[in-house]
Amino acid sequence: MFAVTRLRVPADDVPAVTAAVGVLLDALAARPGFRTGELGRAADDPELLALCTIWDGVGAYRRALSAAEVKIAGAPVWLHALDEPGVYLTD
């Protein structure tokens, strides 16, 4: 499964959020079931970013998000998250 979190970030804050995503990805990488993750910027909207992570399954993803170190690392990132569904199952 994969998760996509879209972030609306003011242009001046993009460098700080990009750095914070690196810290978050390090914290996620330490969790069981994490495969990979990356951050991208929308080609036509420089203030819209997307964080995509790939997991062994929904359970691994949800357990990872419950970990204290992930919550702490994710706080400055998720502050900018759009409120929309973001977990997708693959066949």
What is the per-residue pLDDT across 3-62, written as a single tens digit (0 to 9) for each?
Answer: 999 999 999 999 999 999 999 999 999 999 999 999 999 999 999 999 999 999 999 999
User: Residue 30: which CATH number?
Assistant: 3.30.70.100
Are 68 and 26 a contacting pair, CB within 8 Å?
Answer: no
Residue 14 lies in a domain: yes
Residue 87 lies in a domain: no
Provide the pLDDT confidence category of residue 83 given band limits of 50, 70 and 90.
Answer: very high
Beta bridge partners of 88: 2
Query: Which residue segment(s) compose the domain that 10 sits in?
Result: 2-81
Q: So what's the pLDDT on residue 58?
A: 96
Residue 19 lies in a domain: yes
Number of domains in the chain: 1
CA 21 to chain centre: 7
Residue 90 lies in a domain: no
Are 61 and 33 a contacting pair, CB within 8 Å?
Answer: yes
Q: What is the DSSP string of 1-44?
A: -EEEEEEE--GGGHHHHHHHHHHHHHHHHTSTTEEEEEEEEETT
pTM (2 decimals)?
0.94
Residue 66 lies in a domain: yes
Residue 59 lies in a domain: yes
